[in-house]
Amino acid sequence: MASPTTTTTAAGTLVLAPPRPFAEREWVRVMARLVRRRTALFGLVVVAAVVVAAVFASVVSPFDPLAQDIGQRLKEPGWQDAQGRIHPLGTDHLGRDILSRIIHGSRIALSVGLAAVMISGVLGMAVGLVSGYFGGRVDDFFMRLADIQLAFPFILLAIAVIGVLGPSLRNIIIVIGVSSWVVYARVVRGEVLSIREREFVQAAVALGSRDWRILARHVLPNAFTPWLVVATLDMARVIVIESALSFLGLGVQPPTPTWGGMLADGRVYLSTAWWLATFPGLAILVTVLGINLLGDGLRDTLDPRLKV
């Protein structure tokens, strides 16, 4: 923000500035600061790799993730079949290629993660804005609601509700999304409490702006940074929950490959074929670690005081 974006002539007329050069755009600056942190860069690379794997799953996978071949079941990592094709991570109990299934499994993990985070993020942002800005009874109401939500062991409530509604991609996204709003609401609310007292908001109030306009134009943009950090870190949590649900058999149903489902299959063959359960778990571990490091990096870059 050092360079002038608009200039004013002596006469006071406004001269429109030329579009900002690429290197000075806000997000480019943030990225530049972010990648200077080694751990954050590592997180970013991991996340980018998982996103690429998910988007181009059918191109990147060496095999069809659903193609069964009973003749080649439970083959160890590095196994070479009759045509000379290598299964780098081995095959599962139905002779399917594990690497290809892990690559395809990232689709479910990421889509549940993104969709659920969007739902809970929007809900939590709305609650946080209203609760922090209006305070009083409204605030009391939403904060008690948050206490109620937090009282439930999350995974137990999720499996109970999904058990009733039936497991499907849609139900999983809705259940996780609707019940994860509390973190966002609390962080945004805390931020709004301080933004509300700042001069530019007071000025807008004095000028007679309506509440919803103040919230949308002045408060929300300033509460966005902490929200983004929470959303990033929450994405990691959602991915673990999705795989836990799949592990228990309440996730997206077979034959669609999910990391949790692959782990549950592999558990049965633990004593004979360790690779079945090991690699999907590593995929979850690396993905979640990458997202966490990226989130930590975003927090340290954007808002180091934030406690999330």
Partner 1 sequence: MKAYLIRRFWQSLLVLLGVSVVVFFILHLTGDPAALLLPPDATAEDIEKLRAALGFNDPLPVQYLRFLRGAVQGNFGESLRHGEPAMSLVLERLPATFELAGAGLFIALSLAIPAGIVSAVRRNKPIDYISTVVALLGQAMPTFWLGIMLILVFSVRLGWFPSSGRGDIEHLVLPAITLGLFTTARITRLTRSGMLEVLGQDYIRTARAKGVSEPPVVWKHALRNASIPIVTIVGIELGTLLGGSVITETIFAWPGVGRLSVQAIFNRDYPVVQAAVFLLASTFVIVNFMVDVMYTYLDPRIRFR
Report the nearest approach of partner 1 to the CB of residue 106 (Å). Answer: 15
CB atoms within 10 A of CB 166: 10
> Would you report the helix, strand and coil content of the chain in percent, each value rounded to 5?
70, 5, 30
CB of 108 to partner 1, least distance (A): 15
> Does the protein bind partner 1 through residue 55 (CB under 8 A)?
no
- Extract the tokens encoding 265: 């299959």
Q: According to CB under 8 A, which one of 71, 84, 153, 304 is a site residue for partner 1? A: 153
Determine which residue in the list 156, 197, 208, 304 makes contact with partner 1, applying CB under 8 A: 156
Q: What minimum distance in Å lies between the beta carbon of 153 and partner 1?
A: 3
**Crossing angle of helices 259-268/98-134, nearest 10°?**
130
- How buried is 146 (Cβ within 10 angstroms: 0-12 exposed, 13-18 middle, 19+ buried)? buried
The residues near 104 (Cβ < 8 Å, ≥ 6 apart) are 57, 61, 65, 257
Binding-site member from 47, 288, 294, 298 for partner 1 (CB under 8 A): 288
Select 25 or 267, whichever has its Cβ closest to partner 1.
267
Which of 243, 234, 288, 239 has its CA nearest to residue 122?
Answer: 234
Q: Is residue 224 close enough to count as binding partner 1 by CB under 8 A?
A: no
- Subset of residues 227 to 286 that bind partner 1, contact rule: CB under 8 A: 236, 240, 243-244, 247-250, 260, 263, 266-267, 270-271, 274, 277-278, 280-281, 284-286
Number of residues near partner 1 (by CB under 8 A): 44
Contact residues for 106 (Cβ-Cβ < 8 A; gap 6+): 50, 53, 54, 57, 259, 283, 287
Q: How far is the CB of 112 from partner 1 (least distance, A)?
A: 14
293 near partner 1, rule: CB under 8 A: yes
Residue from 79, 134, 154, 224 that binds partner 1 (CB under 8 A)?
154
CB 301 within 8 A of CB 34: yes
Distance (Å, rounded) from C-alpha 293 to C-alpha 40?
A: 5
Tokens for 204, please give them: 């807008």
Site for partner 1 in 132-151 (CB under 8 A): 144-145, 147-148, 150-151
Residue closer to partner 1, measured from CB, 55 or 270: 270
The CA-based angle 106-302-195, given to 5 degrees, is 115
Sites of contact with partner 1 (CB under 8 A): 144-145, 147-148, 150-157, 159-161, 163-165, 236, 240, 243-244, 247-250, 260, 263, 266-267, 270-271, 274, 277-278, 280-281, 284-286, 288-289, 292-293
